[in-house]
């Protein structure tokens, strides 16, 4: 099941919107992080940067075969062997990863889908206790150059409510100017 269309632009334009390494570090990804799950890897914009930072593997999921191919090519181009790009309908089928198997989950520009709590629950399930989920989304502002339609674009308060429903604690919000905001969440130790 594909997430509601967000008007994803071409790769060149998409990558102009982000400084992946800086954003990942702001959202708490570091060289102590072992394994990461990325829900919706797209062009591999964050996948490659994450793979360069962490100790373990990035499990990069996408429903689009073209995006998986691009991400695999980027991994090869950068000489990275710690990226596993997986073609999977993670919205309908989950990630297929074991319970408490990753340290970090990346949910970037994806929580405009029809049932965001289900994806947050899947992220919570696969995170180790004390693990983090990093969220990025477009500001709730019609002047942003791209992003989902305003009627499906989540505000930070909505994401925090959904995250609480999914069992996350300790939310921290970040302003990722000029077009995005970020949130980190923690899976409790109990």
Q: Which domains can be identified in the chain, with CATH numbers?
A: 20-110 (3.40.50.150)
Model confidence pLDDT, tens digit, residues 31-56: 999 999 999 998 899 999 999 999 99
Band (pLDDT 50/70/90 cuts) for residue 9 is low
Quick one: how far is CA 173 from the chain centroid?
Answer: 15
What's the mean pLDDT in 143-150? Answer: 85
pTM: 0.91
CA dist., res. 38 & res. 16, Å (int): 20
Contact 83, 71 (CB under 8 A): yes
Decide if pLDDT at 17 tops 90.
Answer: no
Q: For residue range 112-125, list pLDDT tens digits in order.
A: 998 999 999 999 99
pLDDT digits (tens, 9 = 90+) for 67-114: 999 999 999 999 999 999 999 999 999 999 999 999 999 999 899 998
């Amino acid at each position: 099941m594909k997430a509601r269309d967000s008007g994803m632009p071409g790769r060149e334009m998409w990558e102009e919107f982000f400084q992946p390494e800086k954003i990942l570090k702001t959202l708490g990804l570091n060289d102590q992080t072992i394994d990461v799950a990325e829900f919706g890897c797209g062009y591999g914009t964050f996948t490659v940067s994450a793979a360069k930072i962490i100790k373990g593997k990035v499990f990069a999921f996408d429903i689009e075969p073209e995006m998986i191919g691009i991400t695999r090519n980027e991994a090869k181009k950068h000489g990275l062997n710690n990226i596993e790009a997986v073609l999977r309908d993670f919205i309908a089928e989950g990630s297929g990863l074991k319970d408490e198997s990753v340290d970090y989950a990346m949910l970037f520009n994806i929580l405009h889908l029809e049932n965001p709590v289900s994806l947050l629950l899947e992220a919570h399930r696969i995170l180790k206790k004390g693990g983090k989920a990093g969220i990025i989304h477009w500001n709730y502002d019609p002047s942003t150059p791209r992003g989902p339609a305003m009627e499906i674009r989540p505000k930070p308060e909505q994401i925090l409510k959904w995250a609480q429903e999914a069992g996350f604690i300790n939310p921290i919000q970040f302003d990722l100017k000029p077009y995005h905001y970020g949130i980190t969440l923690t899976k409790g130790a109990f």
